[in-house]
A and B are shown apart, each in its own frame.
Chain A
Amino acid sequence: MSAAAAIIRAGAAADQRPWPRHALSRDRWQAMAAALGAADAPSLQGVWAEAERVHALFLDAGSPLSASVEIAGGTYPALSPHCPAASWFERMIHDLFGHAAEGGRDVRAWLDHGAWATAAPLGPRQAALPPRVGAPEPPEFLLAEGEDLNQIGLGPVAGAIAEPAHLRLTAQGETLVRLEVRLGYAHKGTLGLMRGTPPRAAARFAARLSGSATVAHGLAYAHAVEAALGVVPPPRAVALRAVMAELERIRSHLDAAAAILAEAGAAFLETRFGWHREAMHEAAGRAFGHRLMMDGVAPGGLATDLAADGAAAIRAALEALAAELPDLVRRLDRSASLGTRMAGIGRLAPDLAAGFGASGPVGRASGRGGDARLVPGYPPYPALGLEVPTRAGGDVAARLRVRLGEVPQSTRLLRALLDALPDGTIATALPAASGEGLGVAESSRGTVWHWVRIEGGLIAAAFARDPDWLHWPLLEAAMRNGMLEDLPLCAASFGLTSSGVDL
């Protein structure tokens, strides 16, 4: 066991389910932080806060490991000096709660652009803070010094149809010397809106953290609530949740493939992948009454059952895709120009992917094989079995291939699930109880974590860790010293979204 994991496990176990949270003293937390630089240290998944406490979540050989420390004097010891992946989380905690990371690597504002009525809107001292007056300060970007450097600001309104994000490019001629991302434009105050509502009602916020992964977020949230309250969803709900999740995965991979191929200039392939994506949308609409299956998953089970002709609609869409996919992949293989366009672009080194705990296609294309459906795992996947395709290239081509490799896997899972759908009810009632729970689900972009604290049947505190928290900084790294013109292609291959990270 690594030194950091040993320190965490020695902490008193608090009642977080299904994985305990280890409450550390300030000294032990600091010792844990110092041990995070070791090669065998557990991989940081997220850091979040509530009024009096900061939590950190790690994966130690695939199993979740939680630690927490109490806030003292408005501060807690920072993790970022030893673990760069913690930096964005520490900035978020400061902006939302006012807790300062003592010794933090980067103390610039993150989600807070100065436009809210007060600072630290979720913090314990919010009511005592003075209202803001005057225009917000302009954002501060990392310094770029050198001969013939150009700075280009892109966004928050950029691209034809895109989420808001600001990319600050520092270029030397056609070479991108540095890419710095500024997010937070889509901060909707989701965590604040969830507080004080019953878990069933708060599910609509979880489902709207990221539209392209609405099922995965809904599922991870439901897992967290069910763990906190000790509720087990009925077998039919478990199977249909997986149907929704796999349908969303195929649709998202097709969407990303179409976007990558559009940037690579492969119009025919883009069109065909786009057509199949639309077929998946339609099938989901017929099966569950909503093209994105938003609000389909509810804590305790499902909100909507499968429509009478739903299984047939899904099967027909899968059949059409399975019939054409090998031909499309063959065209991709045979096109030398397309291969050249994508090979070696936006290469992400395996050690960086590991250091930032990358998951999903971003991690798998750089050799990381984890999948939350299997490890830590949740029903029904361990019983169904699953192969997780990985690549070693770490470039645009590898990320596209990983996505396309997951489509037949999900197709097989969907067919198996639809062939053996259990009968029965679709939801278990939630007790108005208290508890703390951690939930996980694998989205098409990677692992989604949700954490909730429920007190007397109401959400007291919550956090959602979208996988792109750790993927945006990796996009910055992958584009370093790349060509300016390759940025749209590389960004499409990462397929990142803002809303899930902006909260």
Chain B
Amino acid sequence: MTIWQRLRHTLRHGPATLPAAAPSAETAAALAARLDAAAQRRLGRSLAIRHVGAGGCDGCELELRALTGIVYDLERFGLRFVTSPRHADILLATGPLTRSMAEALARTHAAMGEPKWVVAVGDCAIDGGVFKGSYACLGGITTLPVDLVIRGCPPTPWQVLEGLRALIEANAAPAR
């Protein structure tokens, strides 16, 4: 495809990125209630995410990677995945929290500066999912204070996006 063909294609079909509806006001309000005014000022409308794979099957990770592509384009909402926990405002954990990952998860959380959020993504991260009761799992992200859960096995990129955008709205809500 030449650049002109591509330009014509783009003009005719519009951008590849999908438009997004407003996030749930109810979830945003509930989250905002958990945040004090000082934290709101500090975090603002841009949040950095550190993902921790706490022993999942890679299904949730697949859908999270989809978020960063042009179709969902996470960064247009001020959300981005970062590699250092010291840069992160959100710890986004997937997986049933295997016993072997508990220490790494705790250390990642400890390395993040205050204020910080913890988001549990996927049924495994919420209560262990199908791995509930295994000798090797702790049954979800039970060792950290979880602020937001996003259900699904795995949740679709839209569901994850909706949850994360509610966090942005909570941070942007006027100070009480």
| Chain A residues packing against B (C-beta within 8 Å) | 113, 115-118, 121, 156-164, 184-190, 192-193, 204-205, 208-212, 214, 255, 258, 271, 274-275, 277-278, 281, 285, 291-292, 294, 324, 327, 497-499, 502
Q: Could you write out 19 A-B pairs with CB less than 8 Å apart?
A: A115-B99, A116-B135, A156-B101, A156-B104, A157-B50, A161-B64, A163-B53, A163-B56, A164-B54, A164-B55, A188-B136, A189-B131, A189-B135, A205-B130, A211-B59, A211-B154, A255-B65, A274-B71, A291-B63
Task: Decide if A278 touches B66 in the complex (CB within 8 Å).
Answer: yes
Give Cα A278 to B62, complex, Å.
10
Knowing A187-B136, A255-B62, A291-B63, say if A116 contacts B83 (CB, 8 Å).
no
CB-nearest residue of chain A to B60:
A211
The interface residues of chain B lying within 8 Å CB-to-CB of A204 are: 130
State A44–B165 Cα separation when bound (angstroms). 49
* Cβ–Cβ contact A185 & B69, under 8 A: no
Partner of A161, one of B51, B55, B154: B51
- B63 nearest in chain A by CB position: A291
Cβ of B1 within 8 Å of any chain A Cβ, yes or no, is yes
Contact A113 B65 (CB under 8 A): no
Any A CB within 8 A of the CB of B24: no
Q: Which residues of A contact B104 (CB under 8 A)?
A: 156-157, 164, 185
A113 to B134 alpha-carbon distance, docked (Å)? 16
Given A163-B53, A275-B70, is A113 in contact with B58 using a C-beta cutoff of 8 Å? no
* Residues of chain A contacted by B105 (CB below 8 angstroms): 157
Report A242 CB to chain B, min CB distance, Å: 21
Per-position contact with A for B44-87: 1 when CB-CB < 8 Å, else 0? 00000011111111111111111011110000000001110100
Among the listed B58, B98, B108, which residue makes an inter-chain contact with A497, where contact means beta carbons less than 8 Å apart? B58
Out of A113, A184, A278, which one reaches B69, CB within 8 Å?
A: A278
Bits for B115-128, please: 1 = Cβ < 8 Å to A, else 0.
Answer: 00000000000000
State whether the Cβ of B137 lies closer than 8 Å to any Cβ in chain A. Answer: yes
Bound-complex Cα distance A160 to B81 (A): 6
* Cβ contacts under 8 Å, A285 to chain B: 156
> Is the CB of B16 closer than 8 A to any CB of chain A?
yes
Bound-complex Cα distance A498 to B56 (A)? 9
State how many angstroms separate the Cβ of B12 from the closest Cβ of chain A: 14
Q: How many residues of B contact A (CB 8 A)?
A: 48
| A291 and B156 in contact, given A157-B104, A208-B59 (Cβ under 8 angstroms) | yes
Would you give the shortest CB distance from B75 to chain A, in whole angstroms? 12
CB contact under 8 A between A324 and B56, given known A189-B136, A205-B130, A278-B71: no
Contact residues in B for A190 (Cβ distance below 8 Å): 131, 134
Residues of A within 8 A of B130 (CB): 193, 204-205, 208
Q: Could you say which residues of chain A place their CB within 8 Å of the CB of B85?
A: 157
Q: Which residues of B contact A209 (CB under 8 A)?
A: 57
B residues within 8 A CB of A274? 69-71
Q: Which of B61, B100, B103 contacts A163 (CB 8 A)?
A: B61
Residue of B nearest to A184 (CB): B100
In the complex with contacts A157-B108, A212-B58, A188-B83 CB distance below 8 A: no
Question: Which of A118, A186, A205, A294 sits near B56, CB closer than 8 Å?
Answer: A186
**Contact between A292 and B62, CB atoms less than 8 A apart:** yes
Is B62 within 8 A of A211, CB to CB? Answer: yes
Given A116-B135, A185-B98 in contact, is the A161-B65 Cβ separation under 8 Å? yes
Q: Across the interface, do B131 and A115 meet the contact criterion of CB distance under 8 Å?
A: no
Cross-chain contact A193 with B69 (CB below 8 angstroms): no
- If A208-B59, A208-B130, A499-B58 touch, whether A116 touches B81 (CB-CB below 8 Å) is no
Write out the residue numbers on chain A whose beta carbons fall within 8 Å of the beta carbon of B52.
Answer: 157
Among B50, B58, B65, B102, point to the contact of A115 (Cβ < 8 A): B102
Q: Which of B1, B16, B54, B57 contacts A208 (CB 8 A)?
A: B57
CB distance from A402 to the nearest CB of B (A): 21
Provide the residues of chain B in CB contact with A159, threshold 8 Å: 83
B33 on the A face (CB < 8 A): no
- Cα separation A159 to B82 with both chains bound (whole Å): 8
Question: Given that A292-B62, A292-B154 are known contacts, is A186 also in contact with B101, CB under 8 Å in the complex?
Answer: yes
Instruction: For the complex, give the distance between the alpha carbons of A281 and B71 in Å.
Output: 12
Chain B nearest CB, measured from A409 CB (Å): 23
Q: List 5 A-B pairs, minimum CB-CB distance, nearest first.
A: A211-B59, A189-B136, A189-B134, A115-B99, A211-B58
Residues of B contacting A275 in the complex (Cβ-Cβ under 8 angstroms): 16, 69-71
Does B95 count as interface, using CB distance less than 8 angstroms? yes
Known: A161-B51, A189-B134, A205-B130. A113 touches B100 (CB 8 A): yes
Q: Does B96 contact A (CB under 8 A)?
A: yes
**Would you call A185 and B58 a contact (CB within 8 A)?**
no
Question: Whole-angstrom distance from the CB of A438 to the nearest CB of chain B?
Answer: 23
**B101: which A residues are within 8 A, CB to CB?**
156, 164, 185-186
- What's the minimum C-beta distance from A456 to chain B, rounded to whole angstroms? 22
A296 to B105, CA, bound (A): 32
Given contacts A121-B135, A212-B62, A291-B156, 18 further A-B contacts (CB under 8 A): A116-B99, A157-B53, A157-B85, A157-B108, A162-B61, A163-B53, A163-B56, A186-B95, A187-B98, A204-B130, A211-B56, A255-B65, A271-B70, A275-B16, A277-B69, A292-B154, A497-B58, A499-B57
Structural contact, A188 and B96, CB atoms closer than 8 A: yes
Q: Given the complex, which residues of B lie within 8 Å of A184, measured CB to CB?
A: 100
Across the interface, B81 reaches (CB within 8 A) one of A161, A192, A294, namely: A161
Q: Which residue of chain A lies nearest to B101 when distances are taken between CB atoms in the complex?
A: A185
How far apart are the CA atoms of A214 and B105 in the complex, in Å? 26
Contact B98 A211 (CB under 8 A): no
